[in-house]
């Protein structure tokens, strides 16, 4: 049985504290208490709560409260991030879900209906594209797949599978259209002119005038560019090791060699050797600079990743075959490159491109660039 104790508060009013104490054989007693303004209410709560605690597993549940989805997501990010690198898109997506209304739902209530409601709100209320919501659920599915077996949380992958099926029928999710946006030469010239003026004004800032053409001539992704190291260049065979190449199942430790084009090597050799990294910058700074440039110039729907596609197109336009192109691009699936094979052979469009030569000649002033804080800084 519990007890009710009347206590006088600082403001002179009386509070009634209902305290429950349950003894279990061989275990410390379980205690729980709440304070009410009226004794009758305290008595009613105590009676109801004692009955609830008599149910099988009720005390164990009280001692170990059921977590909400946000708790599980944060644990996933902490533990999975410690053993493998989590991409920025996946990290931000899970953090956004954790902060959403769905993130506040208890794990036992993360049913297919709750997940479909989440998808519906994203599309109907927030105006998010179904392809984006599809990506959200795919990323969240990775949490469902490990939560029960790794930590004992009752997140059923079957509920996620049912939610995806229903959401697809309701047109709340759909596969994204294959993106084929590439910058035109006019857009590239505008971008390079913009970055040239920025470099002239601040030669110590992130040298986008070098990074943009380098992304084209290597077909490297943004996060791969900043991981390239001086020690990973094989000058004799003109190839380079890129670390942690994007892979659907294995990213950490997925190091691969790619062929360096002549133009890419020229830009590399124009960079000062002041860090173990050739481009000792952060992806956030590169992404922000590229986005600001596009906004300023009125270039619509262009992303930094589209430079990779421009580079692949350039290689095919020079008459390279799929096996040769994959030596540079590192595409795992040749079928992803077959759509480029209908490009006409027009030769090397960048051979006489003035901005390529300016990119090589531009000198990044690392002495004024807070070089002591650069990633992997060395004494040149």
Residues of the chain with confidence (pLDDT) below 70: 1, 26-27, 60-64, 247-253, 370-372, 379-380
Give residue 289's Cα distance to chain centre: 19
Determine the pLDDT at residue 234. 96
Sequence ranges of the domains in the chain: 3-63, 69-169, 185-373
In this structure, what token pair is assigned to residue 192? 């390079």
Determine the pLDDT at residue 333. 80
Determine the pLDDT at residue 63. 67
Compute the distance between CA of residue 267 and CA of residue 217 in angstroms, rounded to an integer: 9
Determine the pLDDT at residue 211. 97
Task: Find all residues with CB under 8 Å of 316, minimum gap 6, and list them.
Answer: 325, 340, 341, 343
Determine the pLDDT at residue 231. 95
Is 69-169's fold the same as 185-373's? no
Beta strand spans in the chain (E): 3-8, 14-24, 27-36, 233-234, 239-242, 256-259
Determine the pLDDT at residue 376. 83
How do the residues of the chain divide into helix, strand and coil, expressed in percent and rounded to 5? 55, 10, 35
Determine the pLDDT at residue 23. 81
Q: Which residue has the tokens 């206590």?
A: 7
Compute the distance between CA of residue 79 and CA of residue 65 in angstroms, rounded to an integer: 21
Question: CA quadruple 227, 232, 233, 239: dihedral positive or negative?
Answer: negative
Is CATH 1.10.150 the right assignment for the domain spanning 69-169? yes
In this structure, what token pair is assigned to residue 270? 């124009």
Angle at alpha carbon of residue 105, lines to 104 and 106, rounded to 5°: 120
Q: Which residue has the tokens 């644990």?
A: 75
Which overall architecture, per CATH, does domain 185-373 show?
A: Orthogonal Bundle (1.10)
pTM (whole model) above 0.85: no
């Amino acid at each position: 049985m519990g007890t009710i104790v009347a206590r006088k508060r600082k403001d002179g009013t009386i509070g009634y504290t209902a305290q429950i104490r349950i003894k279990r054989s061989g275990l410390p007693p379980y205690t729980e208490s709440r304070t009410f303004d009226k004794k009758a209410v305290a008595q009613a709560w105590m009676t109801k709560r004692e009955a609830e605690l008599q149910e099988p597993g009720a005390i164990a549940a009280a001692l170990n409260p059921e977590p909400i989805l946000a708790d599980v997501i944060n644990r996933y990010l902490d533990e999975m991030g410690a053993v493998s690198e989590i991409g920025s898109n996946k990290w931000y997506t899970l953090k956004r879900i954790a902060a959403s209304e769905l993130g506040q739902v208890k794990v036992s209530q993360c049913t297919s209906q709750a997940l479909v409601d989440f998808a519906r709100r994203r599309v109907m209320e927030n105006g998010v594209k179904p392809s984006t919501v599809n990506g959200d659920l795919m990323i969240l599915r990775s949490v469902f797949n490990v939560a029960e077996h790794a930590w004992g949380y009752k997140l059923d992958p079957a509920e996620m599978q049912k939610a995806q099926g229903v959401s697809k029928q309701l047109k709340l999710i759909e596969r994204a259209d294959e993106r084929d946006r590439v910058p035109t030469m006019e857009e590239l010239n505008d971008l390079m002119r913009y970055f040239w003026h920025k470099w002239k004004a601040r030669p110590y800032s992130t040298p986008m005038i070098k990074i943009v053409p380098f992304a084209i001539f290597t077909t490297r992704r943004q996060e791969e560019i900043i991981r390239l190291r001086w020690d990973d260049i094989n000058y004799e065979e003109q190839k380079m090791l890129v670390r942690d190449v994007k892979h659907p199942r294995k990213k950490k430790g997925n190091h691969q060699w790619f062929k360096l084009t002549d133009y890419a090597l020229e830009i590399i050799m124009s960079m000062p050797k002041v860090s173990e990294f050739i481009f000792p910058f952060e992806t956030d700074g590169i992404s922000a600079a590229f986005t600001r440039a596009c906004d300023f110039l009125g270039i619509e729907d262009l992303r930094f990743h589209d430079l990779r596609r421009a580079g692949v197109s350039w290689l095919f336009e020079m008459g390279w075959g799929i096996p040769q192109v994959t030596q540079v691009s590192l595409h795992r699936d040749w079928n992803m490159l077959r759509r480029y094979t209908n490009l006409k052979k027009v030769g090397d469009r960048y051979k006489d491109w003035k901005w390529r030569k300016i990119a090589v000649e531009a000198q990044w002033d690392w002495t004024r660039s807070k070089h002591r804080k650069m990633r992997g800084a060395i004494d040149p």
